Chain A
Amino acid sequence: MQFLSYLISGISLGSVYALIALGYTMVYGIAKMLNFAHGDIIMIGSYVIFFAFGGFGWNPILSVVVSMVVCTILGTVIERVAYRPLREAPSLAVLITAIGVSYLLQQVAQLMWSPDPKSFQSIVAGAGLKPLELFGGKLTISAEAIVTIIACVVIMVALTAFVNHTVPGHAMLAVSEDRGAAQLMGVNVNATIALTFAIGSALAAVAGALLCSSYPTLSPTTGAMPGIKAFVAAVFGGIGSIPGAFLGGVLLGVIENLSKAYISTQLSDAIVFLVLIVVLVVKPTGLLGKKINVKV
């Protein structure tokens, strides 16, 4: 029973990682860049919800929607100003710029909202959802965990459908496959990448809402570590693969929580990263990643 409870909290943590990883992996798959600022967009989105829901007392759904709008605008603006000028530059240049953007967002948040931590009120509880009790109350699954897992699955399915069955989705696939060829075929590469960032950032807002609902501390550095973990999760599952991000995220959360529960709370990160290394050494493109054949 106790094992089940640790497992469930691991899945719950993992689905938050998965949600963040989905945003990472989309941007990576299409724009071929590691958007280090993704975690910080989550943080900004969470602050928006904190003030909309906790401060002004808006409806939780409305708060999330507002946060999604803010994050979408923010993500698109960042892409336009900081990343697009470097589209043809070496990929490392964009990586460094993304790190610069990450610092920038953290600093802006700190100056605007002070470094004092905020305690985030769960929007899930705010929407009136109750925890699920099983086996006569021996096992409790929090409403946040249930919502996060459902949201994660829904978003994953929706994203897969969007990419595979719509025109903009096909454009994304084309850009991801071969940017030059896609352009020649009449795909507007800039618009497609901008759309990717918009979707990724909207996802970040949802991830922020659920991250902070489950783990209720919010400060300007809140997004940094979950961001890195989600990045690891995305690679774990095979970066660029949408189901891979989901799988990677959930596994990462489960491994982290079980090693905390049964091995060592101090060394849980070392264990998580060690598993990642072993997986990548055995399967160099992640769990569900495509094998790339290099042509001579």
Chain B
Amino acid sequence: MLSRLKTMKKTTRSNLITFGIVIVFYLVVQILSGAGLTTRSFEGQLVPICAYVVLAISLNLTVGFLGELSLGHAGFMSVGAFSGVLLWTLVGDSLPAFVAIPLAFIVGGIVAGIFGVIVGVPVLRLSGDYLAIVTLAFGEIIKNIINALYLGVDENGVHFSLTDANSMGLSADGETLINGAMGITGIKKASTFTIGFVLILITLIVILNLINSRTGRAIMAIRDNEIAAQSVGINLTRFKLTAFVVSAVFAGFAGVLYGLNYSSLVASRFDYNTSIQILVFVVLGGIGSIRGSIIAAALLTVLPEVLRGLQDYRMLIYAIVLIVVMIFNQSPQIIAWRKRIIGRFSSKKGEPEKKEVA
């Protein structure tokens, strides 16, 4: 077994380690939880962690593998969350959960994917910071529109308005589904850690396979040199759009997972700050490193909660940690310095010292 592991292709082995980390983490948490060793606070963070992990992996596809900066990932999360949760509030009571929940995810993913196409077709003509600003603009447009969206249903059918609740013309016994800035309320919670875990596994399987496929190589070729890629016959629009839409679909899935975890859902939650937060996971975990995204998303979600003991200084410390970790991880001088230190240890002990890094 071990010898087979050694002879395996390097990427396959690396991918297996990634899966291993996720599965081991899941099992450890389940065992600890079964033994009653975990706290509510910890268990409550598991679903958001899963959602952020999926978001980070999917954004990494755009940022790390397609090489385009997107600042509107929260927008896809938002449309996914709203459509999935809307479906769940409509059919959650009538259909059994094992049908309704996957259905909510599928709808959320499809809607996010459609938005991915709508946004992607015009936007992918641009590049660099212009692309970044346009994706940010799309995210803000989505937030702005959902914030002004009123949707209700009564015996006369579906009503909607973009101004206010009264102008929907809903009859007295009609039901308001989306109530503007108040969003969707009274959501029956459905997300669990296991659903989140399964979603991460699906995300990993799909995205790792995509990256290691012909399509993935084409996408990376575009990242490395657009003109060269074009000259060997790679269809830029098609592959760029593939990566972008897959990324949007998974953001939609993550949105559904997130939305089904709370009893209220508001559009203002998915603003550019959330997009940036996801980007922070990707950059901190290492651009193009799926495993790094997973670890960074989990650690950075937990960090503000661990810092609660600091009271008023919590977010201050969080900001400082962010800056320091960024400099420590990315500054060429410090990387060189770190290598020297590690080199010194490894020459003494014959193997690198782990703690220097952690």
Interface mask (A260-276 → B, CB under 8 Å = 1, otherwise 0): 00001011011001101
A88/B133 contact (C-beta < 8 A), A100-B322, A264-B162, A277-B138 known: no
A96 touches B280 (CB 8 A): yes
B276-292 Cβ-contact flags toward A at 8 Å (1 or 0): 10011001100100000
Residues of B within 8 A of A34 (CB): 129, 132
Given known pairs A93-B283, A103-B318, A104-B319, the reply for A277 and B330 (CB within 8 Å) is no
Q: Which of A151-159, A210-218, A280-288 contacts B (4 or more CB under 8 A)?
A: A280-288
Interface check B177, CB cutoff 8 A:
no
Do A96 and B283 form a contact, CB below 8 Å, given A104-B316, A276-B133? yes
B74 at interface (Cβ–Cβ under 8 A)? no
Which of B139-147, B152-160, B244-252 binds A?
B139-147
Residues of B within 8 A of A82 (CB): 323, 327
Given contacts A104-B320, A277-B122, 15 further A-B contacts (CB under 8 A): A89-B332, A92-B279, A95-B283, A100-B323, A103-B322, A108-B316, A228-B272, A231-B133, A235-B133, A264-B162, A267-B145, A269-B144, A273-B137, A284-B126, A285-B130
- Give 1 or 0 for each of B317-331: 1 = CB within 8 Å of chain A CB: 011101100110111
| Residue ranges of A at the interface with B (Cβ–Cβ < 8 Å) | 28, 34, 82, 85-86, 88-90, 92-93, 95-97, 99-101, 103-104, 107-108, 111, 228, 231-232, 235, 239, 264, 266-267, 269-270, 273-274, 276-277, 280-281, 284-286, 294, 296
In the bound complex, residues from chain A placing their C-beta under 8 Å from that of B137 are: 232, 273-274, 276-277
**Could you say which residues of chain A place their CB within 8 Å of the CB of B69?**
92
Contact B330 A274 (CB under 8 A): no
Question: What's the A-B contact tally at a CB cutoff of 8 Å?
Answer: 129
Asked whether A281 and B126 contact (CB < 8 A) given A273-B140, A274-B141, the answer is yes
> Judging by beta carbons under 8 Å apart, are A92 and B333 in contact?
no
Query: Which chain B residues (36-88) contact chain A, with CB distance < 8 Å?
Result: 63, 69
Cα–Cα distance between A230 and B283 once the two chains are bound (Å): 25
Residue of chain A at shortest CB distance from B164: A266
* B283-A89 in contact (CB<8A): no
B145 contacts which chain A residues (CB < 8 A)?
A: 267, 270
Q: Is the CB of B134 within 8 A of A266?
A: no
Is residue B32 contacting chain A, with contact meaning CB distance below 8 A? no
Alpha-carbon gap, A93 to B323, bound state (A): 10
Closest to A274 in B: B141
Contacts of A88 in B (CB 8 A): 332
Residues of B near A111 (CB, < 8 A) are 312-313, 316
Say yes or no: B330 contacts A267, CB within 8 Å. Answer: no
Q: What is the CA–CA distance of A274 and B118 in the complex, to the nearest angstrom?
A: 13
Q: Is the CB of B134 within 8 A of A276?
A: yes
- B280 & A99 in contact (Cβ 8 Å cutoff): yes
The reply to whether A266 and B315 contact each other, CB–CB distance below 8 Å, is no
B148 is an interface residue with CB less than 8 A from chain A? yes
- Cα-based distance from A100 to B289 in the complex (angstroms): 22
Q: Is B209 an interface residue (CB 8 A)?
A: no
Q: A107, B316: Cβ atoms under 8 Å?
A: yes
A99 to B163, CA, bound (A): 34
| Complex CA distance for A239 and B228, rounded to whole angstroms | 27
Q: Point out the residues of chain B lying under 8 angstroms from A269, CB to CB.
A: 140-141, 144
